[in-house]
């Protein structure tokens, strides 16, 4: 693609003279990309991390914060409303750190 100047405004055009909006991706180019093996793979990293953290942060499974009688209990298999809220906030924070800040990505074809 090449840029042309029209009265001070830059217009982006394709090599054959069409504007960039009409030539970005055509079915023929998509078929060529698939034939060459350059298909986009799916990122399974956030999905796998979310499932593992959902299991680990289930209130009462490994720990419960806050517990009914203490601040923290381990393996008591019970829950409360405030415990669900605390575990949801912990889940969101750890998921955000792992997926966005650290950038865990697993690409599968």
Q: Which residues of the chain have a pLDDT value below 50?
A: 1-6
Cis geometry, peptide bond prior to residue 66 (ω within 30 degrees of 0): yes
Which pTM was predicted? 0.59
Residues 16 and 46 in one domain: no
Domain of residue 64: give its range: 42-108
- Assess contact for 29 and 16: CB atoms under 8 A: no
Residues 50 and 94 in one domain: yes
Determine the Cα–Cα distance for residues 53 and 24; give it in Å rounded to an integer. 39
User: If phi over 0 gives left and psi between -120 and 50 gives alpha, with beta otherwise, what is residue 75?
Assistant: left
Chain centroid to Cα 100, Å, comes to 8
Residues 28 and 57 in one domain: no
């Amino acid at each position: 693609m090449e840029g042309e100047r029209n009265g001070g405004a830059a217009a982006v055009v394709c090599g054959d003279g069409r504007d960039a909006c009409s030539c970005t991706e055509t079915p023929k180019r998509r078929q060529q990309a698939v034939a060459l093996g350059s298909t986009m793979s799916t990122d399974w990293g956030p999905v796998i991390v979310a499932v593992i953290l959902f299991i680990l942060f289930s209130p009462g499974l490994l720990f419960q914060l806050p517990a009914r009688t203490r601040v923290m209990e381990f393996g008591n298999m019970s829950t409360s409303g405030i415990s669900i809220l605390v575990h949801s906030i912990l889940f969101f924070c750890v998921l955000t750190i792992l997926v966005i800040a650290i950038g865990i990505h697993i690409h599968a074809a």
